Amino acid sequence: MMRTLFFLGVVVFCGTGGEISITRTMKRVGEVKSLAPRLLLPRLGRAFHLGSMWLGILLLAISFYSLLALLSWNPVSFVIPATAMSYAVGVLGAKYLLGERVSRMRWAGVLLVCLGVALVAWAR
Amino acid sequence: MLDTINLRVKTLAAVALMVMCSSMGDILLSRGMKQIGAVNISSAGALGQTFVRILINGSVWTGIALLIFCTMIYMIVLSWADYSFVQPSAAFSYAIVPVLGYLVLGEPVKTIRWAGVLFIVLGVFLISRTAPRTTEPRL
Protein backbone atom coordinates (compact mmCIF):
# COMPACT_ATOMS: atom_id res chain seq x y z
CA MET A 1 0.00 0.00 0.00
CA MET A 2 2.76 2.44 0.98
CA ARG A 3 4.68 1.55 -2.20
CA THR A 4 1.60 2.25 -4.35
CA LEU A 5 0.93 5.58 -2.63
CA PHE A 6 4.59 6.60 -3.00
CA PHE A 7 4.64 5.83 -6.74
CA LEU A 8 1.24 7.49 -7.20
CA GLY A 9 2.74 10.64 -5.70
CA VAL A 10 5.77 10.35 -8.01
CA VAL A 11 3.51 9.96 -11.08
CA VAL A 12 1.34 12.95 -10.17
CA PHE A 13 4.01 15.37 -8.92
CA CYS A 14 6.77 14.51 -11.41
CA GLY A 15 4.25 14.50 -14.30
CA THR A 16 2.78 17.90 -13.49
CA GLY A 17 6.22 19.25 -12.48
CA GLY A 18 7.61 18.18 -15.86
CA GLU A 19 4.78 19.80 -17.80
CA ILE A 20 5.06 23.01 -15.77
CA SER A 21 8.79 23.09 -16.47
CA ILE A 22 8.12 22.70 -20.21
CA THR A 23 5.45 25.43 -20.03
CA ARG A 24 7.96 27.76 -18.35
CA THR A 25 10.47 26.94 -21.11
CA MET A 26 7.97 27.78 -23.86
CA LYS A 27 7.01 31.03 -22.13
CA ARG A 28 10.74 31.97 -22.04
CA VAL A 29 11.21 31.02 -25.70
CA GLY A 30 8.31 33.34 -26.58
CA GLU A 31 4.99 33.08 -28.37
CA VAL A 32 5.01 31.03 -31.58
CA LYS A 33 3.40 33.31 -34.17
CA SER A 34 4.22 31.53 -37.41
CA LEU A 35 3.86 27.86 -38.30
CA ALA A 36 6.25 28.18 -41.25
CA PRO A 37 8.91 25.50 -40.64
CA ARG A 38 11.69 28.04 -41.40
CA LEU A 39 10.59 30.09 -38.36
CA LEU A 40 8.99 27.41 -36.20
CA LEU A 41 11.77 24.81 -36.03
CA PRO A 42 14.53 27.19 -34.80
CA ARG A 43 12.15 28.45 -32.09
CA LEU A 44 11.32 24.93 -30.91
CA GLY A 45 15.03 24.07 -31.18
CA ARG A 46 15.83 27.03 -28.90
CA ALA A 47 13.74 25.37 -26.18
CA PHE A 48 16.17 22.43 -26.12
CA HIS A 49 19.02 24.80 -25.25
CA LEU A 50 17.33 25.67 -21.94
CA GLY A 51 17.88 23.64 -18.77
CA SER A 52 14.20 23.85 -17.81
CA MET A 53 13.27 21.88 -20.97
CA TRP A 54 15.60 19.02 -20.01
CA LEU A 55 14.41 19.14 -16.38
CA GLY A 56 10.85 18.80 -17.72
CA ILE A 57 11.79 15.83 -19.92
CA LEU A 58 13.60 14.15 -16.97
CA LEU A 59 10.60 14.62 -14.66
CA LEU A 60 8.19 13.31 -17.34
CA ALA A 61 10.43 10.25 -17.89
CA ILE A 62 10.45 9.52 -14.12
CA SER A 63 6.65 9.93 -14.06
CA PHE A 64 6.20 7.63 -17.09
CA TYR A 65 8.35 4.80 -15.70
CA SER A 66 6.66 5.11 -12.30
CA LEU A 67 3.29 4.82 -14.09
CA LEU A 68 4.50 1.62 -15.80
CA ALA A 69 5.60 0.25 -12.40
CA LEU A 70 2.21 1.16 -10.86
CA LEU A 71 0.39 -0.56 -13.75
CA SER A 72 2.42 -3.71 -13.17
CA TRP A 73 1.21 -3.90 -9.54
CA ASN A 74 -2.35 -2.54 -9.82
CA PRO A 75 -5.26 -2.75 -12.29
CA VAL A 76 -5.62 0.11 -14.78
CA SER A 77 -9.12 0.74 -13.36
CA PHE A 78 -7.41 1.87 -10.14
CA VAL A 79 -4.31 3.59 -11.54
CA ILE A 80 -5.88 5.96 -14.13
CA PRO A 81 -8.69 7.26 -11.85
CA ALA A 82 -6.12 7.76 -9.06
CA THR A 83 -3.83 9.76 -11.36
CA ALA A 84 -6.77 11.97 -12.49
CA MET A 85 -5.90 14.24 -9.56
CA SER A 86 -2.96 15.39 -11.75
CA TYR A 87 -5.36 17.89 -13.33
CA ALA A 88 -6.07 19.56 -9.99
CA VAL A 89 -2.39 19.44 -8.92
CA GLY A 90 -1.44 20.89 -12.33
CA VAL A 91 -3.77 23.86 -11.84
CA LEU A 92 -2.33 24.48 -8.34
CA GLY A 93 1.17 24.40 -9.89
CA ALA A 94 0.08 26.77 -12.67
CA LYS A 95 -1.35 29.19 -10.08
CA TYR A 96 1.58 29.21 -7.65
CA LEU A 97 4.59 28.47 -9.90
CA LEU A 98 3.57 30.10 -13.18
CA GLY A 99 1.45 32.92 -11.74
CA GLU A 100 -1.66 32.06 -13.79
CA ARG A 101 -4.95 33.50 -12.55
CA VAL A 102 -7.38 30.62 -12.06
CA SER A 103 -11.01 31.75 -11.93
CA ARG A 104 -13.77 29.89 -10.07
CA MET A 105 -15.24 28.80 -13.42
CA ARG A 106 -11.91 27.24 -14.46
CA TRP A 107 -11.63 25.48 -11.07
CA ALA A 108 -15.16 24.10 -11.50
CA GLY A 109 -14.27 22.87 -15.00
CA VAL A 110 -11.05 21.22 -13.80
CA LEU A 111 -12.83 19.43 -10.94
CA LEU A 112 -15.50 18.15 -13.35
CA VAL A 113 -12.72 16.89 -15.66
CA CYS A 114 -11.01 15.10 -12.72
CA LEU A 115 -14.28 13.41 -11.76
CA GLY A 116 -15.10 12.57 -15.39
CA VAL A 117 -11.68 11.00 -16.11
CA ALA A 118 -11.91 8.98 -12.88
CA LEU A 119 -15.41 7.67 -13.79
CA VAL A 120 -14.51 6.85 -17.42
CA ALA A 121 -11.40 4.89 -16.40
CA TRP A 122 -12.97 3.27 -13.32
CA ALA A 123 -15.94 1.92 -15.31
CA ARG A 124 -13.67 0.33 -17.95
CA MET B 1 -11.96 41.63 -27.14
CA LEU B 2 -11.37 40.38 -30.71
CA ASP B 3 -7.84 39.31 -29.68
CA THR B 4 -9.28 37.22 -26.82
CA ILE B 5 -11.78 35.55 -29.18
CA ASN B 6 -9.01 34.86 -31.73
CA LEU B 7 -6.77 33.46 -28.98
CA ARG B 8 -9.60 31.23 -27.71
CA VAL B 9 -10.41 29.90 -31.20
CA LYS B 10 -6.72 29.34 -31.98
CA THR B 11 -6.10 27.56 -28.64
CA LEU B 12 -9.20 25.35 -28.84
CA ALA B 13 -8.38 24.41 -32.47
CA ALA B 14 -4.83 23.46 -31.41
CA VAL B 15 -6.14 21.42 -28.46
CA ALA B 16 -8.65 19.64 -30.76
CA LEU B 17 -5.84 18.80 -33.22
CA MET B 18 -3.69 17.60 -30.30
CA VAL B 19 -6.47 15.35 -28.97
CA MET B 20 -7.13 13.87 -32.44
CA CYS B 21 -3.44 13.22 -33.11
CA SER B 22 -2.80 11.62 -29.71
CA SER B 23 -5.93 9.41 -29.95
CA MET B 24 -5.06 8.33 -33.52
CA GLY B 25 -1.41 7.83 -32.51
CA ASP B 26 -2.41 5.57 -29.60
CA ILE B 27 -4.81 3.58 -31.82
CA LEU B 28 -2.13 3.09 -34.53
CA LEU B 29 0.51 2.07 -31.97
CA SER B 30 -1.96 -0.39 -30.48
CA ARG B 31 -2.86 -1.79 -33.94
CA GLY B 32 0.82 -2.10 -34.83
CA MET B 33 1.67 -3.97 -31.64
CA LYS B 34 -1.32 -6.31 -32.18
CA GLN B 35 -0.06 -7.06 -35.72
CA ILE B 36 3.38 -7.84 -34.25
CA GLY B 37 1.95 -10.09 -31.54
CA ALA B 38 2.92 -10.64 -27.90
CA VAL B 39 6.49 -9.51 -27.15
CA ASN B 40 8.68 -12.57 -26.59
CA ILE B 41 11.40 -11.92 -24.01
CA SER B 42 12.44 -15.55 -23.56
CA SER B 43 15.78 -14.99 -25.35
CA ALA B 44 17.87 -12.19 -26.83
CA GLY B 45 17.23 -13.58 -30.34
CA ALA B 46 13.45 -13.58 -29.93
CA LEU B 47 13.56 -10.07 -28.48
CA GLY B 48 15.73 -8.94 -31.41
CA GLN B 49 13.22 -10.39 -33.92
CA THR B 50 10.37 -8.54 -32.20
CA PHE B 51 12.42 -5.34 -32.29
CA VAL B 52 13.00 -5.73 -36.06
CA ARG B 53 9.27 -6.38 -36.62
CA ILE B 54 8.50 -3.16 -34.71
CA LEU B 55 11.04 -1.23 -36.84
CA ILE B 56 9.42 -2.33 -40.13
CA ASN B 57 5.80 -1.87 -39.03
CA GLY B 58 4.09 1.05 -40.79
CA SER B 59 1.36 1.49 -38.16
CA VAL B 60 3.95 1.85 -35.38
CA TRP B 61 5.90 4.49 -37.33
CA THR B 62 2.73 6.42 -38.27
CA GLY B 63 1.65 6.28 -34.60
CA ILE B 64 5.05 7.56 -33.43
CA ALA B 65 4.97 10.36 -36.06
CA LEU B 66 1.52 11.44 -34.88
CA LEU B 67 2.61 11.44 -31.21
CA ILE B 68 5.71 13.54 -32.07
CA PHE B 69 3.45 15.95 -34.01
CA CYS B 70 1.12 16.07 -30.98
CA THR B 71 4.08 16.96 -28.69
CA MET B 72 5.08 19.77 -31.07
CA ILE B 73 1.54 21.20 -31.02
CA TYR B 74 1.55 20.94 -27.20
CA MET B 75 4.79 22.96 -27.02
CA ILE B 76 3.47 25.54 -29.50
CA VAL B 77 0.15 26.05 -27.71
CA LEU B 78 1.89 26.37 -24.32
CA SER B 79 3.94 29.25 -25.76
CA TRP B 80 0.79 31.43 -25.81
CA ALA B 81 -1.89 29.81 -23.60
CA ASP B 82 -2.17 28.99 -19.88
CA TYR B 83 -1.10 25.54 -18.76
CA SER B 84 -4.22 25.44 -16.54
CA PHE B 85 -6.32 25.99 -19.71
CA VAL B 86 -4.56 23.52 -22.03
CA GLN B 87 -3.86 20.54 -19.74
CA PRO B 88 -7.42 19.86 -18.51
CA SER B 89 -8.87 20.62 -21.96
CA ALA B 90 -6.65 17.90 -23.43
CA ALA B 91 -8.48 15.40 -21.16
CA PHE B 92 -11.19 15.53 -23.83
CA SER B 93 -9.42 12.49 -25.35
CA TYR B 94 -10.78 10.42 -22.42
CA ALA B 95 -14.30 11.35 -23.56
CA ILE B 96 -13.67 10.66 -27.26
CA VAL B 97 -12.49 7.05 -26.86
CA PRO B 98 -15.77 5.63 -25.38
CA VAL B 99 -17.84 7.65 -27.89
CA LEU B 100 -15.77 6.35 -30.83
CA GLY B 101 -15.91 2.84 -29.39
CA TYR B 102 -19.72 3.08 -29.25
CA LEU B 103 -20.24 4.74 -32.64
CA VAL B 104 -17.56 3.00 -34.74
CA LEU B 105 -17.10 -0.38 -33.10
CA GLY B 106 -20.57 -0.76 -31.54
CA GLU B 107 -19.01 -1.46 -28.13
CA PRO B 108 -21.39 -1.35 -25.15
CA VAL B 109 -20.69 1.57 -22.80
CA LYS B 110 -21.79 1.44 -19.15
CA THR B 111 -24.04 4.22 -17.81
CA ILE B 112 -21.37 5.28 -15.30
CA ARG B 113 -18.92 5.72 -18.19
CA TRP B 114 -21.42 7.91 -20.05
CA ALA B 115 -21.69 9.98 -16.84
CA GLY B 116 -17.87 10.37 -16.90
CA VAL B 117 -18.00 11.49 -20.57
CA LEU B 118 -20.69 14.05 -19.66
CA PHE B 119 -18.60 15.43 -16.75
CA ILE B 120 -15.54 15.80 -19.02
CA VAL B 121 -17.56 17.57 -21.75
CA LEU B 122 -19.11 19.92 -19.17
CA GLY B 123 -15.73 20.55 -17.53
CA VAL B 124 -13.99 21.34 -20.84
CA PHE B 125 -16.94 23.58 -21.81
CA LEU B 126 -16.55 25.59 -18.56
CA ILE B 127 -12.76 25.86 -19.03
CA SER B 128 -13.25 27.00 -22.65
CA ARG B 129 -15.39 29.92 -21.36
CA THR B 130 -12.41 31.31 -19.35
CA ALA B 131 -9.60 33.49 -20.74
CA PRO B 132 -7.00 31.23 -22.44
CA ARG B 133 -4.13 33.47 -21.25
CA THR B 134 -3.90 35.21 -17.87
CA THR B 135 -0.17 36.02 -17.87
CA GLU B 136 1.75 38.60 -19.90
CA PRO B 137 3.08 37.20 -23.20
CA ARG B 138 6.82 37.40 -24.02
CA LEU B 139 7.54 38.56 -27.54
Instruction: Concatenate the DSSP letters of all residues of A20-71 into one string.
Output: HHHHHHHHHH-------HHHHHHHHHHHTTSHHHHHHHHHHHHHHHHHHHHH
C-alpha Rg value of chain A to the nearest Å: 17
Q: Is the pLDDT of residue B2 over 70?
A: no
Mean local confidence (pLDDT), B11-22: 91
Mean local confidence (pLDDT), B25-46: 79
* Backbone dihedral region for residue B106 (phi beyond 0: left; psi -120 to 50: alpha; all else: beta): left
pLDDT tens, residue by residue, A7-30: 999 999 999 999 999 999 999 998
- List all residues 6 or more positions away from A65 whose beta carbon is below 8 Å from its beta carbon: none
Verdict on whether the full-model pTM lies above 0.80 = yes
Give this complex's ipTM.
Answer: 0.89
Looking at the partner chain, which of B97, B126, B137 has a beta carbon nearest the beta carbon of A31?
B137
Q: Is the pLDDT of residue B5 over 60?
A: yes
Q: How close, in Å, is residue A23 to chain B by CA atoms?
A: 6
Angle between the B92-105 and B2-36 helix axes, to the nearest 10 degrees? Answer: 50
Which residues of B fall within a CB distance of 8 Å from A120? 94-95, 97-98, 113, 116-117, 120
pLDDT tens, residue by residue, B68-121: 999 999 999 999 999 999 999 998 888 887 887 788 777 788 899 899 999 999
For residues B70, B73, B74 and B77, what is the CA-based torsion angle, rounded to 10 degrees? Answer: -160
In this complex, do A27 and B122 lie within 8 Å of one another by their Cβ atoms? no
